[in-house]
Copies of this chain bind each other. A is one copy, B any other.
Amino acid sequence: MEKVKVIEIKRSVFADNDKDADNLRAELKEKGVFLLNLMSSPGSGKTTTLIQTINRLKDKIRVAVMEADIDSDVDAIKIKEATGIESIQLHTGGMCHLDAAMTRQGLDNLSLAGTDLAILENVGNLVCPAEFDTGSCRNAMILSVPEGHDKPLKYPLMFSICDVVVINKIDVMPYFDFDMEKCKEYIHMRNPKAKVIPICAKTGEGVDEFAAWLLAEVEKWKK
């Protein structure tokens, strides 16, 4: 028996993704469900950050997670085991991103009634996921210290579409040439309004701030 539900999502047939995404957002607004789209490079710590964040929120609001990957179901299982919340795995069949129609296929497999916050963990990639509106209410990304502070220079679109940039793995800053002030400067070059939150998902440092931001956004959305 599978430990979590695994959905093979199909390539989208909609020509106008932006319109489809707007429709999805309107449906979510009506249902009172907030959708967060979380993006990053492979290995930046999306799943660990989610576990820490969900454990801070799950007694206040109902949370469900969709883990998108090309293959494997390790992340959905990790989330379920570490938080106890509803967690499903989406397989993209080789696709490097999700669009609105693909996201809807995932949402259709969650028990949305009563869910306040649905989180999409997008495919690990700093390029393509930024190009496709998933229908999410907010976009978040994680940049981890080992990746380097110059990433906003190289992946401009990703940084420009994110409402919040979480900088993870700050515990290993002494071992890497990572300049936090330069990083913030480069992020704000791309997106002056982006909120920047340094955290260590392993120890939980800084996660309270991210969880508080997310909770406030969910509450605004449901008003």
Task: Give residues in A with beta carbon < 8 Å to B.
Answer: 41-44, 69-72, 74, 94, 96, 123-128, 131, 144, 146-148, 150-151, 153-157, 169, 171-172, 175-176
Q: Ordered nearest first, which 5 A-B pairs have the shortest CB separation?
A: A43-B147, A96-B127, A146-B146, A72-B153, A43-B148
Q: Which of the residues B74, B123, B126, B157 comes within 8 Å of A124, measured between beta carbons?
A: B126
Q: Which of the residues B42, B74, B156 comes within 8 Å of A126, measured between beta carbons?
A: B42
Q: Quickly give the copy total for this chain.
A: 2
Which residues of B are found within 8 Å of A94, using beta-carbon distances? 127, 131, 157
In angstroms, how far is the closest chain B Cβ from the Cβ of A183? 12
In the assembled complex, the Cα of A131 lies from the Cα of B144 at a distance in Å of 26
Which residues of B are found within 8 Å of A42, using beta-carbon distances? 41, 126, 147, 151, 154-155
In the assembled complex, the Cα of A96 lies from the Cα of B155 at a distance in Å of 10
Q: Which residue of B lies closest to A157 (CB)?
A: B94
